Amino acid sequence: MSWLLVLPLLVPLTTGILCLVLPGRTAQRVLGLAGALGLLAAGLALLAQVQRQGIQAVQIGNWPAPFGITFVADHLSALMVLISGVVAVAVALFALAENDQAREGLGYYALGHLLLFGVNGAFLTGDLFNLYVWFEVLLLASFVLMILGGSKAQLAGGVKYFAVSLLSSILFLVAVGLLYGATGALNMADLALRVERVHPGLLTALSMLFLVAFGLKAAVFPFFFWLPASYPAPPAMISALFAGLLTKVGVYALIRVFTLIFTHDTGFTHSLILWVAGFTLLLGALMALAQGELRRLLSFQLVSHIGYMLMGLGILTPLALAGSVFYALNHMIVIAALFLLAGLLQRLQGTTVLVRMGGLYGPYPWLAVLFLLPGLSLAGLPPFSGFWAKYTLVAAGLQAGQYGIVAVALLVGLLTLLSMGLVFAEVFWKKAPEGARAAPGGLGGRVLPVGLLAVLTLAIGLWAEPLLSLSQAAARELLEPAGYIQAVLGVSR
């Protein structure tokens, strides 16, 4: 059944290619949605397969590991692929309703699916250098998407995004090269076996290189400055895709290398990750409170909540890692919903500057509800998915005696609630300011994907058990890499 493992790669690649080859806009629109649905189905099938038969591995080109490139799907990879399929479907639906002819003509659907191709490749690969290549695939697609349409704000944001991405790519490349020099291996399972023979000091230095390289991609403290400078620039159908997926690839890479390879000195490396998590949480939340523009505010919220995912990685207990995984999955859905919603609000009022918005509660009470569902989920209130994610992390932190980070996590939950309340008050509660657009355009089908994501976060909150137990399975696999190594190399540690 090796084809099931490569299906999440083949579906977006085929869709992207067909969108490039077929000239008609209608064909591209149909393909865009069909490809996203196909990816979702492939993700479901892969997860079911992993659930039934354990970790799946396939040797691309039939070159045996550790010489060839391996693709591996454990619970973590399969879950990430699945949720990226969910985000893809929502964004595709939004793009269909948005009907942005100029950007569709420039290849929006092709680029979007090539981006998904890169993202899923990064989730599934079992080879460190191959991970670098997937990063570049998704980066190149995201560069073009970032400036697609070529507005001034997009170009200015694109330059910053491009510059920072180049830097992190080189750091990643250097880190991979040095690790190869020290161990002679690139296959992650093989690396996990070989790092024992490397001097621990050298290994710690290498792990720091990886922390910086992936930290730049994941936008954690102190490397998050670029994200709020670039993510608000492109339109919602692009920024939601970025917000939902791209930083999570960085987080995934961090979780992968810091559970599989760099576990020699957790007292140093993982404590450092905890500090990074704490500062990311706190600074992101505080900066979000200082923003007067909705999409910049959401960008800082995005940064802040990356800290929660790192927090679980830093604590490194089964419960904490399960919390991290659950948080990442939940956050992909919630933040994509909020960025899409920002697109809706911009359409209604012609701006996302909070002072110039307002008075939407009267004409659109249901839109307020639609905002509150993901907004409160982000803040971690029950009965939404964000509550269980935070609850798991806080419980794990208390178990492990990490009271400092727990305090920060709870405080940031409060700050997030404050920030969401502020947005609610500004956008929905307060009276429309003078000169605000009075006769808003229709929303049409744009509401559907936001509604779907909002209902999904509520549904996960009400029935948290399945996703939570899957996250726990993922955490178990991460903490006992023997299964992963066995699946890839066919030998046990």
Partner 1 sequence: MEILLAFLVGGLAAVGVYLMLRPHLIQFLIGFLVLGNAANLLIFTAGRLGSQFPPLVQPSGAVLEPYANPLPQALILTAIVIGFALAAFGIVLFYRAQQALGTLNAETILEAPDVSPAPSPVDELPTEGVRR
Partner 2 sequence: MNTLILKTTSRFLFTLLLLLSVFLLLRGHNEPGGGFIGALVAVGAYALFALAHGVSAARKLLPLPPLRLVGWGLLVALLSALPALLLGRPLMTGQWFSLLGVKLGTPILFDIGVYLTVFGALLSAIFGLEEAAHHPSEDA
Cβ count within 10 A of residue 102: 10
DSSP state of 71: E
The CA-based angle 58-63-65, given to 5 degrees, is 65
Residue 350 makes contact with partner 2 by CB under 8 A: no
Contact pick of 17, 418, 443, 459 for partner 2 (by CB under 8 A): 17
* End-to-end Cα separation, the chain, in angstroms: 26
Q: Considering the complex, what minimum distance in angstroms separates the CB of residue 60 from partner 2? A: 5
Q: Considering the complex, what minimum distance in angstroms separates the CB of residue 50 from partner 1? A: 29
95 is written with which tokens?
Answer: 């793009």
Give bridge partners of residue 353 from the DSSP assignment. 293
Residue 150 makes contact with partner 2 by CB under 8 A: yes
The Cα diameter of the chain in Å comes to 70
**Which residue from 109, 120, 126 is spatially nearest to 30, judged by alpha carbons?**
109
Please name the residue that has the structure tokens 């020290």: 182
Q: Which stretch binds partner 2 (CB under 8 A): 18-26, 216-224, 272-280, 396-404?
A: 18-26
Binding residues for partner 1, rule CB under 8 A, total 53
Q: Residue 92: CA atoms inside 13 Å, Cβ hemisphere, count? A: 29
What is the C-alpha to C-alpha distance for residues 174 and 222, in angstroms, rounded to an integer?
A: 20
Binding mask 21-60 for partner 2 (x = CB under 8 A): x-x----------------------------------xxx
290 binds, among partner 1, partner 2, none (CB under 5 to 8 A by kind): partner 1
Comparison of 230 and 471: residue with beta carbon closer to partner 1 = 230
Q: Considering the complex, what minimum distance in angstroms separates the CB of residue 237 from partner 1? A: 15
Comparison of 10 and 209: residue with beta carbon closer to partner 2 = 10
Binding mask 84-123 for partner 2 (x = CB under 8 A): -----------------------x--x-------------
Comparison of 98 and 426: residue with beta carbon closer to partner 1 = 426
Residue 292 makes contact with partner 1 by CB under 8 A: yes
Q: Considering the complex, what minimum distance in angstroms separates the CB of residue 491 from partner 2? A: 19
**Residues from 355 through 394 that contact partner 1 (CB under 8 A):** 355-356
Q: Which stretch binds partner 1 (CB under 8 A): 51-59, 143-151, 249-257, 374-382?
A: 143-151
Contact pick of 351, 421, 429, 451 for partner 1 (by CB under 8 A): 351
**Residues from 120 through 139 that contact partner 1 (CB under 8 A):** 129, 132-133, 136, 139
DSSP state of 350: S
- Determine whether 32 is exposed, middle or buried from the number of CB atoms within 10 Å of its CB (0-12, 13-18, 19+): buried
Q: Considering the complex, what minimum distance in angstroms separates the CB of residue 17 from partner 2? A: 5
Comparison of 437 and 476: residue with beta carbon closer to partner 1 = 437
What is the C-alpha to C-alpha distance for residues 187 and 63, in angstroms, rounded to an integer?
A: 12
The letter for the amino acid at 388 is W
**Residues from 409 through 438 that contact partner 1 (CB under 8 A):** 422, 426, 433
Contact pick of 24, 62, 152, 466 for partner 1 (by CB under 8 A): 152
**Which residue from 255, 265, 123, 128 is spatially nearest to 190, judged by alpha carbons?**
128
Q: Do residues 239 and 339 lie in contact, with contact meaning Cβ atoms separated by under 8 Å?
A: yes
C-alpha dihedral sign at 408, 414, 420, 422: negative
Please name the residue that has the structure tokens 């523009």: 293
C-alpha dihedral sign at 458, 460, 464, 468: negative
C-alpha dihedral sign at 424, 426, 427, 432: positive
242 is written with which tokens?
Answer: 């970025």
Interface residues with partner 2 (CB under 8 A) are 2-3, 6, 10, 13-14, 16-21, 23, 58-62, 107, 110, 150
Interface residues with partner 1 (CB under 8 A) are 129, 132-133, 136, 139-140, 143-144, 147, 150-153, 155-160, 162-163, 166-167, 169-170, 173-174, 176-178, 180-182, 186, 229, 232-233, 290-293, 296, 346, 350-356, 422, 426, 433
